Amino acid sequence: MTHVTPTRLSDGRELIYFDAREESAARHRNADATRDERGLPARGPAGTARYDALSGEWIAVAAHRQSRTHLPPTDQCPLCPTTAANLSEIPASDYEVVVFENRFSSFGPDLGDLPAVPGWGTTTTAYGRCEVVAFDSAHEGSFGSLGPERARTVIDAWAQRTEALSAMPGIKQVFCFENRGADIGVTLLHPHGQIYAYPFIPPRAATLAARAHEFFEASGGTRTLMGHALAAERESGERMVIEGEHFSAFVPFAARWPLEVHLVPHRHVADIAGLTGEERDELTTVYLDLLGRLDALYPTPTPYIAAWQQAPIDDVLRPASYLHLQLTSPRRAADKLKFLAGSEAAMGAFINDTTPEKVADALRAATPAPAAPARKDQA
């Protein structure tokens, strides 16, 4: 059981402690022990969203993010527990997993609906919400460095926040993700991820949802596109990396990136909140195994983006959408990265420098390093 304890920071932002252990939860229920003493000024207004009539896409304009924290020294990390010398974003002396509203939010905190019929020059409030998920109190690491108990708590946090954010007015898509590595653009070394609650369905998610809906309708509502792909990959086995009871991981047939793996539940489920306890247990194990294999490919840690594709909050598109993780990395060799240049950046036409089959072979053969000894608070 994961204990959920909400509180507020001094500028009014919500912060939520997620604890697997009752003794941790009890500390966080003590208001005196978790009071934010910084006296932060009131939050500024939300940013804006501009409509690009040429593409039909919404663009967030968040100039206030230029001043966000960038690779601070350890003793000034905003995600470490608070000390007398460092009053951080997390006003507790220790914690397991914490979620809080991003101080430098691209969307929100205002909630509402975007104009139904935007046109050239339409500008509106960038409604929505952006949250930070601190995976652990240790200063350095990533999801893959967590112990199983802590990783399972993060999954429960993703599920709780997905359900809560999906119910907020105007939200159309909830996106949980982790950026790992300076080559991806990470600005904090502390192990963390983010959750964006968009007031629209983002372009990539919209494309996936539309294709899934088209396939679902053509089957008379009996088959899903991702379920079809998963069955084909399991039958072939050529690109399979891990196959469990509830989850499988495979390199997709038409991978865009040098390293790309899809982690897919065997059961059709819309989002992380819909996973059963048994499914979350296996997801913990399989996901840690997969990240370990990714890091075993080269002598140094592999940069990646771990992107959870969840069903849009849309009555038409949601029934056909299928939860899955898209794990991608631009690393194409030990000392080389793939950069999005002309064809990819300008035209969206990807050219892969590797073959999915060779990548799958390498990941199957990779041996994850033994897990680091867990701290006494991280089983």
DSSP for residue 81: B
Cα–Cα nearest to 324, from 364, 267, 281, 363: 267
Q: How far apart are CA 366 and CA 290, in angstroms?
A: 10
Which helix (DSSP H) or strand (DSSP E) does residue 230 occupy?
helix 225-236
Q: How many residues can be counted in the chain?
A: 379
Which helix (DSSP H) or strand (DSSP E) does residue 304 occupy?
strand 304-309
Check if 192 is active-site: yes
Which of 28, 192, 213, 262 is labelled catalytic? 192
DSSP for residue 109: S
Cα–Cα nearest to 251, from 332, 367, 357: 357
Tokens of 375: 């701290």
CB of 141 closer than 8 Å to CB of 161: no
CB of 239 closer than 8 Å to CB of 253: yes
Q: How far apart are CA 312 and CA 320, in angstroms?
A: 10
Per the annotation, where are the binding residues for Zn(2+)? 77, 80, 139, 190
Residue linked to tokens 């088959």: 223
* C-alpha distances out from residue 122 to 63, 105, 125, 206, 346, Å: 18, 21, 10, 21, 24
Per the annotation, where are the binding residues? 77, 80, 139, 190
For the annotated catalytic residues, the residue numbers are 192
